[in-house]
């Protein structure tokens, strides 16, 4: 088994560690806190929460050029990520609302858990996303 990424409990690649070569939905069983990560090979996406929770934002269609993985509300996406457009997205958990204007204003687009390969998949004709928030109550 080839090690692709190593998670360390302490800073500067010190302390207890876990070597990983496949998907891992929850690292808490190996250690309680991760303070440094070394990628030995390949590409990896890391999530702050267990079970791949969050929202993946991509600059290009079909999940090209990932901008960020986000788990919190964002009233000013352009300032936070230096982006004006989101061309594709993956909702790992829960549901999110995209807005065409900052501070949760303008046209709204509901995104439930799933993959959105192009902005038209969430019902818009333009990839402009200036703010978004997690839906916590239906």
- Report the percent of the chain where pLDDT is more than 90: 30
The domains of the chain are located at 5-39, 55-135
- Report the percent of the chain where pLDDT is more than 70: 86
For the chain, the 3-state helix, strand and coil shares in percent, each to the nearest 5, are 10, 45, 45
What average pLDDT score do residues 27-47 get? 77
d(CA 94, CA 31): 26
CA 111 to chain centre: 14
The CATH classification number of 55-135 equals: 2.60.20.10
pTM for this model (two decimals):
0.62
118, two tokens: 């192009």
The pLDDT tens digits of the residues spanning 80-134 come to 777 778 999 988 878 899 999 999 999 999 999 889 999 999 999 999 999 999 8
**Cα-trace Rg, the chain:** 17
Higher-confidence position of 71 and 20:
20
- 125 Rama class: left (phi>0) / alpha (psi -120 to 50) / beta: alpha
């Amino acid at each position: 088994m080839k090690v692709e990424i190593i998670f360390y409990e302490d800073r500067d690649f010190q302390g207890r560690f876990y070597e990983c070569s496949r998907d891992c939905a929850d690292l808490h069983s190996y250690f309680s806190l991760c303070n440094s990560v070394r990628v030995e090979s390949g590409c990896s996406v890391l999530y702050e929460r267990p079970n791949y929770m969050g929202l993946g934002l991509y600059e290009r269609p079909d999940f090209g050029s990932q901008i960020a993985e986000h788990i919190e509300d964002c009233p000013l996406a352009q300032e936070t990520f230096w982006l004006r457009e989101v061309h594709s997205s993956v909702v790992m958990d829960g549901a999110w609302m995209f807005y065409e204007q900052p501070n949760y204003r303008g046209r709204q687009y509901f995104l439930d858990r799933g993959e959105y390969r192009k902005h038209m998949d969430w019902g818009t004709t333009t990839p402009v996303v200036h703010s978004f928030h997690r839906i916590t109550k239906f």
